[in-house]
Amino acid sequence: MAKPLFVNNWTASLQAEMAAGATSMTVETDRAALLTGMTGGDYYLATLVGVDVAGQENAWEIVKIISNASGVLTVARAQEGTADRLWPSGTKISGRATAGQLALLRDAGGGTGPGGGIEDVTDDGRQYQRRFEEWVAVPVFEIPEDAWTDSLPLSFANATLLVSANTVCMVPYVPSQDMTVDQVGVFITTPAAASNLTLKVFESDAAGWPGAGLANGFGNVSAGSSGHAAATLSAPVDLQAGRRYWLAVHPSAGTPVFRATATGAPVMGTSADGTARYTTLQRTITWVTGMPDTWEFVRSDLNAATPPMFRLHRAAGA
C-alpha cells in the first residue's frame, strides 16, 4: 500500500518554469537527491508557494512527488483542493505538513477510537492496541457477562501473602476490555476471625501511581472463612480497556492470608542494591479511618511482597 514519505526541513526552488498541467518539475539535483525511497507508489508531498511584492505568501499548490530522475521530479498536481497553475522559475518549494497528512495520521488504525492515530500492530498471533499510557494485549476472547476474571489474565504459580491488620495492600490492574464491574474479590487461604476486608478501586494519576478512588468503587466482606471472598461494590464501576487501575485490600483485624502470584506480576522498580523487586504498594492506615478518597503515592509505599491475586466480576447485562 502506498504511503507518504517524509524528510526534515526540505526546501528547493524551480530551475525552470512549470506550466499548468505539467507533470514534472525541475529542482536542484542535491535537493532532489534527498527524496529517496519512492517505490511501490510511496510519495512525498510538497507545496509550491507564490509571494507578492512585499514577500507575503499569496498562492499555494500542493503536489505529490512520485519519482526523481536527476533533479526532474514527476508530480501529481493540485492535491488537497489546491489549484493547478503556472509557476515561474525560481518558485520556492517546501516539504510542509498538510491537512491531508494530519488527517491520515489521525485516522490510521481507527483514529476515532481510544487508540488515536496509532495503528494497531499484530505480533505472535495477538493484536495490540495503544490505550491510555501503555500497550496491552487484546485477547481473542471476551470476558462473558456475569463472569469472573483474575487481575492477571495469565497462568501463574500459586503463592500466598499475609497482610496485617490496618495495612493497605495495593496492586496495578489493566483491563483488556471495557467492562462494568460490580464485585471485587480475593481468595483467602487462611482466614482471620472477626476480620473484615475493605476492597477498593483507584484510578491512576498522571505519573501512573494510584490517584483518585473510583466513586462507589469500594465494598466490605468478611475475612472470617477461607475461599473466595467477594465484596459487592456500592455501585457498579466502568473500567476502560488499557487504563491502569489499582486494586486495594484493607483488613480490619488479624492477619488473613491471601492467594498471591509467584510469577507474572508487574515490577514497579527495584531497591538500590537490586535485592528487592517492588510488586505491591503497602501502607499502614487504621481500618476505621478507611482508605483515602485520593491516594498520594510516596516511595515508602513500595513493597517487595508477593502480590495478592484479585478477582473482578463483570456485571450481568454490561
Q: Which residue has the cell 489549484?
A: 83
pLDDT class of 115 with cuts at 50, 70, 90: very low
Question: Rounded distance, CA 25 to CA 89, Å?
Answer: 10
Cα separation values, 21 from 63, 77, 78, 251, Å: 12, 7, 9, 78
Closest CA to 99 of 45, 167, 159, 22: 45
Asked if the model's pLDDT at residue 168 lies above 80, the reply is yes
Residue 311 has pLDDT above 50, yes or no: yes
Q: Tell me the one-letter amino acid at 74.
A: T
Model pLDDT for residues 169-216, shown as the tens digit of each residue: 999 998 888 899 999 999 999 999 999 999 999 999 988 999 999 988
Residue 55: the pLDDT is 87
- With 90 as the cut, is the pLDDT of residue 309 above it? yes
Mean pLDDT of 97-109: 80
Q: Residue for cell digits 494519576?
A: 205
Note the pLDDT of residue 132: 45
pLDDT for residue 176: 82
Query: Is residue 186 a contact partner of residue 307, using CB atoms and an 8 Å limit?
Result: no
**pTM (2 d.p.):** 0.59
Beta bridge pairs of residue 213: 202
What the block records as the C-alpha cell of 50 is: 507564490
pLDDT at 310 over 70: yes
Confidence class of residue 155 from pLDDT cuts 50, 70 and 90?
low
Task: Give the contacts of 193 (CB within 8 A, at least 6 positions apart).
Answer: 224, 254
Residue 130 has pLDDT above 80, yes or no: no
Q: Give the mean pLDDT of 277-304.
A: 95
- pLDDT confidence bin for 13, thresholds 50/70/90: very high
Q: What pLDDT, on the 0 to 100 scale, is given for residue 312?
A: 96
Q: What pLDDT was estimated at residue 80?
A: 94
Across the range 64-75, mean pLDDT stands at 95
Beta pairing partners, 271: none
DSSP codes, the chain:
---B---TT-EEE-SS-B-TT--EEE--HHHHTT-----TT-BEEEEEEEE-TTS-EEEEEEEEEEEEETTEEEEEEEETTPPP--B-TT-EEE----HHHHHHHHHTTTTTSTTTT---EEETTEEEEEETTEEEEE-SS-PPTTEEEESS-S---EEEEE--TTEEEEEEE--SS-EEEEEEEEEEEE--TT-EEEEEEEEE-TTSSEEEEEEEEEEEEE-SSSEEEEEEEEEEEEE-TT--EEEEEEESSS--EEEEESS-PPP--B-TTS--B--EEEEE--TTT---SB----GGGEE-SPPBPEEEEEPTT-
Check residue 299 and give its pLDDT.
Answer: 94
Give the cell for residue 205. 494519576
Does the structure show a pLDDT above 90 at 95?
yes
Q: CA-to-CA distance for 262 and 157, rounded, in angstroms?
A: 5
Cα separation, 32 vs 285, in Å, equals 67
Checking if the pLDDT of 124 tops 80, the result is no
Name residue, grid cell 517487595: 304
Quote the pLDDT of residue 36: 94
- In this prediction, what percent of the chain has a pLDDT beyond 70? 87
